Amino acid sequence: MWQIKWSRYKKSIIVFMVTILLLTGCGTERSRTPLGSFADKTLRVGLITDQEGTGSSYYSKVWEGLQKAEQEFGVGLAYLTAKDEKEYTARLEQFKGQEAGLILTFGNASVPAVIEAAKANPKIKYVILDARTEESIPDNALVISYKEEEATFLAGNIAGRVTKSYVVGFITGRNDERSERYHFGFKAGLRSANPDCEFMKGIAATYTDRDRVQKMAESMLESRADVIFHIAGIAGNGMFEAVEKADKYAIGSISDQHSLAPENIISSVVINNDIVVYDLVEQFQEENLSFGKNVKYGLAEQAVGLSESTKEMVSEAIYTSVLEYKEQISSGKIVIPDKENDYLKFVTN
């Protein structure tokens, strides 16, 4: 009797382990098999995302723009995921084997692998977006960085005009180069609208801990801040909760976050990846895309901006002023600072 029970138990264990292996195998295969279809298309565009794929708010906009390009220009489209820097090399090799003509990646983590792949495969074109590097760029590669400071200037200008307490807060998930661009652009916009406004900066050291960001926002609100801007990823949702409870104002980032607190989020600084990748594919299929360089995209290229909900959340006078600044920045009449030295020059001129 005991032997029969043990035999059944062993069978259950084996079935369980096989199921786990199959599920794990499926997950591995999903990351190795391109999602989408090159079909019989002669022009093939490959995208490499992080491990979340196109489901994240960041990459969903990228995929949306590429799908539009697929429909309008008849290109083949597929994507692969890479969980870390090491996997980029393997994914780039996979797309080479699939005869992709244009490969897109995002972020600094992909730079070393893409530069090496570009050197080894001169017939394939590579574009690295939302990244910065001092490395020499091969003739078949293009590195695009975003001038986030231009959009954050506009957000800061709004904050300076709507604040009643003359205290405005800024929360970042990390104190790095990107944060500095957001910080000094926002601060310059704030000063342009309200030179006497007090500015509070908080470094949360997290992009995931919403409780920590919420407590930081609550501290700022207790210190009379009535507008707070965050670049803290999903942890920024904690700021929205604090602002909503206090019935004050918030400014979101990366995508339009208005729906998270409709009565309180007056604007969001957005990265228009959908527009950027669509334009890149259009230029590529027309053979008008230039390679072998670093370029910066800002308001003029529609790469960055403010959310559409902004118009409904601020007065007509404020929105008109924002459009005027946008035009002057896009034309180059006003250059927005992205580092401390430039900021100090900006506010003293």
Q: Which of 121, 146, 171 is the last residue of a domain?
A: 146
Local confidence band at 33 (pLDDT 50, 70, 90 cut-offs): low
**Would you state the pLDDT for residue 152?**
98
105, 243: one domain: no
Query: Token digits for 72?
Result: 């309008």
Which of 146, 179, 194 corresponds to the end of one domain?
146
| pLDDT for res 27 | 42
pLDDT at residue 153 greater than cutoff 90: yes
In a domain, residue 292? The reply is: no
Parent domain of 110: 32-146
What is the pLDDT, as a whole number, of residue 59?
93
Position 5 pLDDT exceeds 70: no
101 and 187 fall within a common domain: no
Structural domain contains residue 288: no
Q: Are residues 54 and 114 in the same domain?
A: yes
> Does residue 64 sit in the same domain as residue 123?
yes
The reply to whether 159 falls in a domain is yes
Tell whether 120 and 176 lie within a shared domain.
Answer: no
Say what the pLDDT of residue 10 is.
47
Residue 41: pLDDT band (50, 70, 90) is confident
pLDDT one-digit tens code per residue, 284-309: 999 999 999 999 999 999 999 999 99
pLDDT digits 0-9 by tens, 79-122 = 999 988 889 999 999 999 999 999 999 999 999 999 999 999 99
Residue 52 confidence class, pLDDT cut points 50, 70, 90: confident
Kindly report the number of other CB atoms within 10 A of residue 260's CB atom.
17
Q: Is 276 exposed, middle or buried (0-12, 13-18, 19+ CB in 10 A)?
A: buried
Confidence bin at 42 (pLDDT 50/70/90): confident
- As given in the structure block, the two tokens for residue 307 are 């959310």
**Model-wide pTM > 0.85:** yes
CATH code (residue 58):
3.40.50.2300
141 has pLDDT over 90 = yes
Whether residue 1 has pLDDT greater than 90:
no
Percent of the chain with pLDDT over 70: 89
Residue 142: C-alpha distances to residues 49, 104, 130, 148, 289 (Å): 17, 10, 11, 19, 9
Q: Which of 92, 118, 146 is the last residue of a domain?
A: 146
Identify whether residues 234 and 267 lie together within a single domain: yes
Contact by Cβ (8 Å): 162, 227: yes
Domain count along the chain: 2
Residue 7 placed within a domain: no
H helices present in 83-205, as ranges: 85-97, 111-120, 148-162, 177-193
Percent of the chain scoring above 90 in pLDDT: 84
Which pLDDT belongs to residue 24? 41
Question: Is 23 inside a domain boundary?
Answer: no
Examine residue 242 and state whether it is found in any structural domain, yes or no: yes
What is the structure's pLDDT at 37? Answer: 67
52-66, 153-167, 254-268 — which is least confidently predicted?
Answer: 52-66
- B/e letters for 103-125, b = 16+ CB within 10 Å, e = fewer, are bbbbbbbbbebbbebbeebeebb
- The reply to whether 296 falls in a domain is no
Is residue 53 located within the same domain as residue 200?
Answer: no
Surface-to-core class of residue 251, CB atoms within 10 Å of its CB (0-12 exposed, 13-18 middle, 19+ buried): buried
* Residues near 247 by beta carbon (within 8 Å), at least 6 away in sequence: 263, 264
Instruction: Tell whether 140 and 158 lie within a shared domain.
Output: no
Same domain, 123 and 213: no
Note the pLDDT of residue 16. 44
Taken as a whole, the chain contains a residue count of 349
> Is 277 inside a domain boundary?
no
- How does the average pLDDT of the chain come out, rounded? 91
pLDDT score for 273: 96
Q: Is the pLDDT of residue 172 over 50?
A: yes
| 179 in the same domain as 108 | no
Same domain, 156 and 241: yes
Q: Has residue 18 got a pLDDT over 50?
A: no
Q: What is the mean pLDDT of residues 9-13?
A: 46
Please tell me whether residues 227 and 123 are part of one structural domain: no
